[in-house]
Amino acid sequence: MSRSPAGRLAIRACLRLLSSPQQQNPPAAARWLSSSTGSPLSIRGGLFGSMAPAASASAAVALPPGFDGHYQAAASAGAPPPAAPAAAASSDASMARLRALARPIDRYLALRDLLAADPRAYYSLLLTHTEEILPFVYTPTVGDACLQYHRLPIKTWGLYLTLDDRGRVLEKLRSLPQQDVHAVVMTDGERILGLGDLGANGMGISEGKIALYTVAAGLDPASCLPLCIDVGTNNASLLEDPQYKGLRRRRPARAEFDSFMAEVMGALAAWRPHVMVQFEDFGNSNAFRLLDSYRHTMCAFNDDIQGTAGITLAGLLSAARATGRPLIDHRILFLGAGEAGTGIGELVARYLHLRHGVTVEEGRARCFYLDSKGLVCASRRPSLQHHKLPFAHDADYCADLRTAVQQLRPTALIGVSTIGGAFKEGILRLMAEINDRPIVFPLSNPTSQAECTFEQALEWTGGRVLFASGSPFSPARDAAGALRQPAQANNVYIFPALGAAAIETRAAALPDEAFVVAAEELAGMTTLDDVNAGRLFPPFSSIRAVSARVSARVAEFMVGRGLGAAPPGVRAGAARGEWAEYFSSRMWGAEAPMRSKL
């Protein structure tokens, strides 16, 4: 996109101001500039020309009454100036302006500006250019956004519940402008991607996940609530940062945390009895305990544990087809033994039990883990965390990954360690010596924490790798010069579709088998030619059609098991194709009316 020299200088000046942590609320005169074409430009990246004064009356982000003052101030700091000029920009023009921004974080801010000003235009753009825009809405850019969240001049459009709200959580929920809520994405910010404890800045994760529910499964944005549980942070740099907006205290002891979470979960159930709750980026110790506490009494799941497990199982099923060997004949070595890694192992074991008739214990015996202290094995049982004990097999202890690969001779190597570059050249070359088609999944997010790149995996395995990553990578050429496309094991293939199925069937709970059937349906959408070429998942350009099929399979399972009921639009005993048509017909589009303010 060409601009005059003056226009380019104006944009650079804006972006320099944007990048300054001190420039929280610049004067209105500094916020709006005229380009060489006369288009309004927002310092916060609102380049779409749609931030009109009228938007504040009908489409502006509304904060619920009862928000603490410091959150209100943070939100109002990002409000557009009252006299912002209006212009209706086409999708193509909007994309051209978005592409003119060099830094991913600037694109993230531009998109948030559009969402604040005109939610319909935002979702229209996102649905039209999903593959291009999604990396700026969620991973990898959302990681950078969360690191800077307290400094960014943006409106928070989710709900914060803090320890100061004890005794009035239900009151705050009932004061929200949006009451017809079906899905809640909840985090306490303790383990944001691979970035650690970001406290109240974790709201960016909940907001990003909510957008994916609309993009992938067609949930009405007004029916989805981003929620951040602010109980403090143990991140000293945030506590010392004068711009940090969260509670300025360290995280509470377990009893205090559990008591507050009991109030939150009880209030959600009282407020919306059939609400679906997605736990997101809780620390390991709390993640497993919360899931165990609420998964059988509410429609609740943990995406880091179960959603990641579902997409990884789908990738393994596709990769196993390419090797010509069923998954039961594979041996999987994980680098990292946190909630994501052991969640994958548990779902693999459940799949092998359900489909191959082995016990769950026999299924677990095919999964091995290396944590920061070496191989998880029987000799370490006395010192292991509870979630690692089922995988403490009778094996010789070793301290490093290369020795573990030599000793165990795995067919699949999965990275959930958040240690960038951990899959060294020697390790991947060894995997290629052991296997004709080595399976290598560096799943850690964001991209900087990935255990290897796609290009490295191709080069070091002689192009024979079956690859899937957590964050997106660019295509790369193999040794023969052929351009290869990497697969991305993106949870968005699983959790929105599964959530839609749970909501439409009013599911009382979500058992592990629901994630197994979702993974099977997803893997079944790829052909043998696809998987042989390394395309382990269906094309993301078809995400809504994919989600409709996954939702149909899960809903059929839930109703068949008596865990949910068919909605009025689906007849008893409906075939899976009818279910898929139902879910497709229920998907919200940008042309649909917004039922309430965001």
3-state SS of 346-384 is: HHHHHHHHHHHCCCHHHHHCCEEEEECCEECEHHHHHHC
- Does 362 appear as a known binding residue? no
In the block, residue with structure tokens 């994309």: 95
Q: Who contacts 538 (Cβ-Cβ below 8 Å, separation ≥6)? A: 493, 522, 525, 526, 546
Q: Is 164 annotated as a binding residue?
A: no
| 490 belongs to an annotated ligand binding site | yes
The pLDDT of residue 595? 53
pLDDT tens-digit map of 338-363:
989 999 999 999 999 999 999 999 99
CA distance 220 to 292: 29
- Across all residues in the chain, what is the average pLDDT? 86
Instruction: Tell me the domains of the chain and their CATH numbers.
Output: 138-294 (3.40.50.10380), 302-591 (3.40.50.720)
Question: What confidence category does residue 78 fall into, taking pLDDT thresholds of 50, 70 and 90?
Answer: very low
308 in Cβ contact with 498 (< 8 Å): no
The predicted structure's pLDDT at residue 590: 73
Helix (H, G, I), strand (E, B) or coil at 160: strand
Half-sphere exposure of residue 8: CA atoms within 13 angstroms, side-chain side: 6
Residue type, 179: Q
Kindly calculate the radius of gyration of the chain based on its CA atoms and give it in whole angstroms.
Answer: 24
Share of the chain above pLDDT 90, in %: 76
191 annotated binding-site participant:
yes
Q: Is residue 40 over pLDDT 80?
A: no
Quote the pLDDT of residue 598.
Answer: 35
Average pLDDT over residues 391-418: 98
pLDDT of residue 446: 82
Does 220 show up as a binding residue in the annotation? no
Using 50, 70 and 90 to split pLDDT, how confident is the model at 74?
Answer: very low
- Pick the residue with more confidence: 573 or 98? 98
Residue 63 clears pLDDT 70, i.e. is over it: no
Which of 299, 413, 296, 289 has the alpha carbon at shortest distance from 339?
289
Residues 498, 309: contact at Cβ < 8 Å? no
Q: Give 474-518 as a DSSP string.
A: --EE-TTS-EEPPEE--GGGTHHHHHHHHHHTT-S---HHHHHHH
Four-CA torsion 485, 489, 492, 493, nearest 10 degrees: 80
Residue-level pLDDT at 593 = 61
pLDDT at 56 over 90: no
Half-sphere exposure at residue 130, Cβ-oriented, CA atoms within 13 angstroms: 16
Cα gap 217→176, rounded to integer Å: 24
To the question of whether residue 394 is assigned a binding role by annotation, the answer is no
Of 114, 128, 129, 133, nearest to 48 by C-alpha is 114
Alpha helices in 218-338 (DSSP H): 236-239, 254-271, 284-294, 308-323
- At 216-248, the pLDDT tens digits run 999 999 999 999 999 999 999 999 999 999 999
Catalytic entry in 71, 108, 122, 138: 138
The DSSP letter of residue 393 is B
* DSSP SS3 for 13: helix
Q: 3-class SS at 430? A: helix
Burial 446-484 (b: 16+ CB within 10 A, else e): bbbbbbbbbbbbbbbbebbbbbbbbbbbeebebeeeeeb
* Cα→Cα distances 87→30, 95, 261, 593, Å: 19, 15, 45, 21
User: Helix (H, G, I), strand (E, B), or coil: what is residue 561?
Assistant: coil
Which residues have CB under 8 Å from 29's CB, separation 6+? none
- SS3 for 48-101 is CCCCCCCHHHHCCCCCCCCCCHHHHHHHHCCCCCCCCCCCCCCHHHHHHHHHCC
Q: How far is CA 240 from CA 49, 237, 248, 381, in A?
A: 38, 5, 9, 39
285-302, pLDDT tens digit by residue? Answer: 899 999 999 999 999 999
Report yes or no: 115 and 157 within 8 Å, Cβ to Cβ.
yes
Angle of CA points 500, 125, 310, to nearest 5°: 35
Q: Nearest 5 degrees, angle CA 428-CA 524-CA 342?
A: 50
- 91: confidence class by pLDDT, cuts 50, 70, 90: confident
N residues, the chain: 598
Q: Is 138 among the catalytic positions?
A: yes
Query: Is-catalytic flag, 209?
Result: yes
Catalytic residue among 172, 209, 245, 388: 209
Q: Comparing 13 with 476, which gets the higher pLDDT?
A: 476
Structure-token pair, residue 382? 């006395």
